[in-house]
Each structure stands twice: as C-alpha cells, then as structure tokens.
Amino acid sequence: MTPLALSSLSREELRRWLEARGHPAYRADQIRRHMLRAGEGGFASMGDLPLQLRAELEQSTAWSSLEVLAATAADRGLTTKLLLRTGAGHELEAVMITHPPRSGSRGRRTVCVSSQAGCAIGCVFCATGRLGLRANLTAAEIVDQVLESARRWDAESLGRPTNVVLMGMGEPLQNYSEVVSAIRLLHEWGIPPRQVVLSTSGLVPEIMRLAQEGLGARLAISLHATDDQLRDRLVPINRRFPIASLLDAARKYAAASGRRVTLEYVLIRGVNDDSGAARKLGQMAAAVHGHVNLIPMNPIPGSDLRAPSPAACREFAALVGPRATIRHSRGDRATAACGQLRASLAAEPRREKRILARELALVESPSGQPG
C-alpha cells in the first residue's frame, strides 16, 4: 500500500489523523515545523515527538512524495534546478530562484514547480513538449517541490519560499483538481494564492472554471503570437481555443479575481518579432488591462530557433509600450530557464518529429506564414 504523503494533508486533516490514533492535535504543528527545517532527514530526526508516534509515522506515512536525484546550481548559486522522481518513477524538474535583497526590497525566493511529468501541449519552443505527457502530478508532489526548496533555503539561512510559479513542466490546467488543491495547501505553508502564478497555454473552459474558485491566484497566459495562424503553429492548443476566446477569458478572470493578468511572449527571431506584432501585442495587453512579459527564447537542444538580439528585443518592447517588460533568463547554464525543462527522459519520437516539422516550417518561412 502506498504510504500517505504528509504534504497531501491540510493542518486540520493532520490533526484529525493524529487524534484518531490517540495523539494530541498539537503534534501536527510540530511535524509541520520539522518538514520546513534544513537537515531534517525524516521521522527519526523529530526528537520532540514520542518514539511511538515516530514509529507510526514511519510505518504509515511518507516524509516526502519525491526523491531528489540531482541538484544543479547556476547564476553564482542563485538558481538551482532540482531533478526529482515520484514514487511511481516519473521524473520532473523544479527550479529554485533567489532574488537577493536590494534597496527597498527584502528579497524573494521563488520556486518554479512542475504540475506534470512531461507535457501534452507540444509548443515548438519548449523542450518539455517533446517528451509528451508521462503523468499528472498529485497535489502532494507539487507541494513537496516547494517543501524541498524550503529546506534547502533554510540550510543557507535565507528564509522560506515567498513565491511559487506554476511554470515548470506541464500544463497546470490539464491537471486542474490537483493544482487547485496544491494552491490551497500551499496557503497553509505560508504562501497565499496572491503569491502564486499559474501559467497556462490557454485552456479557456478551465480558466473560466478557475475564475469561480475564489482562489485569487495570478494568471499568466502563454500567448507568443498575435494572430491565430501563427499561434496555431507555435501553440497547437490554439486550434481549439483561438486568441479572441482566450483574451475574453483573461478579461473575465481578471474581473473575477481582482488580479492583473500577464501575457507571456517568447520572442523568436524572424518568427514573431516584427513591429506589427509588437504594436498588436500592446493593444491586446491594454484590452485585458494586463502586463506583457517578453522572454527572449532560451536555446533548447536540436532546435534552430533563436532569440532576437538584445537590441532587437529592446526595440520590440518599446513598440509594445509601457506595459512590457523584458524578462531576463535565470539559470540557462543549468538548462533551468523558461522552456528548457525536460528531466532526463527521452522525447516521444513521433511527437518530436511533428514538432521539428513545425519548427522547420517556421525557420524556412521567417514571417511565420506558410511558405
């Protein structure tokens, strides 16, 4: 029988679990404190708990639902990519990003978490999409990425995670129930929904459903094109949910949640970086009262697609207008930057062949139009 993952329980659920076994409810807070501390290696290290309780925890529950296979640091130690494995043997990646304190800022610690092992969407510019979907992650497996990061930051006396972004492997809204449960659980670990960003390629019905949850998480839309013809090729889900319906859902989500929506736009040289696209992107951002994150494409193995020059990125941002920010890469040396996550799994051959064919068409037809 699979042991119960402690991270799958809310504080109240853990209290009830303890009381059902004859232990006082306050032990729940002791257990949860241990799960955030550096150097904790499991139940044996919980010296303030009775031996009997430690034995019961060891027998019936799991300290973590994930095994750490490797950790790769980059950016002078400010970025760390974690290679993790679930109990079922599925690999995934998470990224820890430290933003040091600056004048007027206390600094931030952001965890970029995965919601799936692999991804079914198949975006041209994303290494994860070449894997195909291997598994949906459970809420515990999502939360445990954050708890593992918390213990590592605690070891450096840097404090707890301050932000979580669901921008790792997978499409969060294709794993809707587990992702929503994880966001609710994270609130109890000190990360309120307003400090969680959920990035989606554009599943319109799920965006509308999320708007009714009352979570208040921030939404990021992976847009990457300003016309349906090009977006169909970059982000295949656009064939089901075209741009107009996606922007309409974004407006409704912003109104329901009270949170500004972000439009994410990976800049690809010769594909989606022309002046007309920049101006249209600015108009779209204004229409949804949102902000634009411009992301120069990070290199992925086997791809001929490249980012525009830094000067071209700045010119594009200027044309978009004041709603645009260029998001500079963190961790690309550890292949931990946007679009680079792929664990150590082999790509699904037929999927990779299809993606490479679409990429070749884009390279041969620089405007993004059919050649």
Residues 6+ apart with CB under 8 A from 133: 116, 117, 118, 119, 120, 170, 174
Phi-psi region of 368 (alpha: psi -120 to 50; beta: other; left: phi over 0): left
The pLDDT score that the predictor gives to residue 357 is: 85
pLDDT band of residue 368 (cuts 50, 70, 90) is very low
Q: Give percent of the chain with pLDDT exceeding 90.
A: 74
Of these residues, 93, 141, 148, 171, which one is catalytic? 93
pLDDT digits (tens, 9 = 90+) for 14-42: 999 999 999 999 999 999 999 998 766 67
* Mean pLDDT calculated for residue range 91-117: 91
Calculate the alpha carbon distances from 255 to 211, 230, 244, 247 in Å.
9, 28, 17, 12
* Mean pLDDT calculated for residue range 229-248: 97
The pLDDT score that the predictor gives to residue 366 is: 55
* Mean pLDDT calculated for residue range 224-238: 96
C-alpha span between 241 and 224 (Å, rounded): 14
The pLDDT score that the predictor gives to residue 336 is: 62
Of these residues, 119, 126, 313, 338, which one is catalytic? 338
pLDDT band of residue 66 (cuts 50, 70, 90) is very high
* Mean pLDDT calculated for residue range 306-319: 96
Residue 52 has pLDDT above 60, yes or no: yes
DSSP designation for 127: S
Task: Specify the amino acid at residue 284.
Answer: M
Residue 361 has pLDDT above 90, yes or no: no
Model pTM? 0.93
Q: Per the CATH hierarchy, to which homologous superfamily does domain 66-364 belong?
A: Aldolase class I (3.20.20.70)
199, 167 contact by CB (below 8 A): yes
Residue 369 has pLDDT above 60, yes or no: no
DSSP designation for 3: P
pLDDT digits (tens, 9 = 90+) for 284-296: 999 999 999 999 9
282, 324 contact by CB (below 8 A): yes
User: Is 338 annotated in the active site?
Assistant: yes
Ranges of H-type helices in the chain: 11-19, 27-34, 51-60, 139-155, 176-188, 204-211, 228-234, 243-257, 275-287, 310-320, 349-364
User: Is 178 annotated in the active site?
Assistant: no
Task: Specify the amino acid at residue 157.
Answer: S
pLDDT digits (tens, 9 = 90+) for 136-155: 999 999 999 999 999 999 99
Which CATH number applies to 4-62: 1.10.150.530, 3.50.90.10, 3.40.50.2000, 1.20.140.10? 1.10.150.530
Give residue limits of the domains in the chain: 4-62, 66-364
Closest CA to 35 of 150, 130, 174: 150
